[in-house]
Structure 1
Amino acid sequence: MEYLKKTFRWFGPAFGVRLSDIRQIGVEGIVAACQDVPLGEVWPIETISSLKSEIECAGLEWSVVESVNIHTSIKYGLPR
């Protein structure tokens, strides 16, 4: 039997919805990204760890890393 995990896209603390509220609707996992890291910049390990910890402290799992920002020059194969 396959098991589907209920997830919810969360845009971080500034989103206006708390993780504890999300957990109450039966969600098990969070789909999230490091929203505060500028486009094209490497996500600092501290930022990743902090987001992961915040999600886990709410009793949820960071199930999907979403919106990994890729700089436009990479998308278009530009020389920079």
Structure 2
Amino acid sequence: MTIQGFFGLLAPAGTPLETVARLNAAMRAALASEPVARTFGNLGFTTVYSTPEQMAARIAEGRATYDRIVKARQIRVD
């Protein structure tokens, strides 16, 4: 199993769709800019744009993966 970390821009549940769209467009433009890509690259990161729907799916997938790990290993938080 390979686990990859990621960073994302998140907003509270119920944020108006037009606000989400504006934030998403700004993030897409920033990630496409050479200075941002270079800065992240210097830190060892690769910039990848995703839609809000793709980010939600990635979070859900990660949650399901960690749920399986926690159950399989019988991990408990005290």
* TM-score normalised by length of structure 1: 0.32
By percentage of residues, which structure has more helix?
A: 2
* TM-score normalised by length of structure 2: 0.32
Instruction: Identify the structure with bigger relative contact order (alpha carbons < 8 Å, sequence gap 6+).
Output: 1
Compare CA radii of gyration and give the structure with the larger one.
2
